Amino acid sequence: MAITSAIVLFAVLWFMTFLVVIPFRIQTQGDLGEVVEGTHAGAPQVHNLKRKAWITTAIAGVLWAILTAIILLEIVTVRDIDSWMFQRMPPATTQ
């Protein structure tokens, strides 16, 4: 795996994890009873995005390490995925 691939993998994992983490423990204006006129009661009042970004970085780091190990140790390869799902690639020849 090239360094660029590793960085892209981490970035994709980070953003996917961030989108999952954002809704947890959110406090809306309706929950706090302080709805600003012209906004929806479900609009967030307290986000704690900095804390969520750190949590996301930790989770994405663990996931990245696991996936990088799987890729580098060739535990699962493209040929394995093809043989399980599509059967389009010819069998590997050993030399």
Any idea where the domains of the chain sit in the sequence?
A: 3-85
- Give the pLDDT mean for 49-73: 96
- Give the pLDDT mean for 59-69: 97
pLDDT tens digit sequence for 12-44: 999 999 999 999 988 888 888 888 888 888 888
pLDDT confidence band for 95 (50 / 70 / 90): low
Using only the alpha carbons of the chain, give its radius of gyration: 21
Lowest mean pLDDT among 2-11, 12-21, 43-52: 43-52
